[in-house]
Amino acid sequence: MPQPEPGSPDQTYDYYSFNTYRVRDGKLAERWPNTHKYVPLYQPPDPAVGRDRATQPRHVGATNLEANKQLVREFYDRVFGAMNPGAVGDFVAEDYHQHSSHMPQGRSGLEEFVSRLASSTPRVAGAVPAPVAAPPEPAVLLAEGDIVVTAACLPQPEPGGSGCSWPYYAYDAYRVKNGKLAEHWSGINKAAPPRHG
39-86 residue pLDDT tens: 666 666 666 655 555 566 666 555 789 999 999 999 999 998 899 999
H-helix segments, 43-178: 65-75, 88-91, 106-119
Q: Where are the domains of the chain?
A: 66-122+132-186
DSSP string, 3-72: EEETTEEEEEEE----EEEEEETTEEEEEEE---SSSPPP--SSTTTTGGG-------SS--HHHHHHHH
pTM of the model: 0.74
Fold held by 66-122+132-186 = Nuclear Transport Factor 2; Chain: A, (3.10.450)
9-23 residue pLDDT tens: 777 767 777 778 888
84-115 residue pLDDT tens: 999 999 999 999 999 877 788 999 999 999 99
Q: Return the percent helix, strand and coil in the chain, to nearest 5.
A: 20, 30, 45
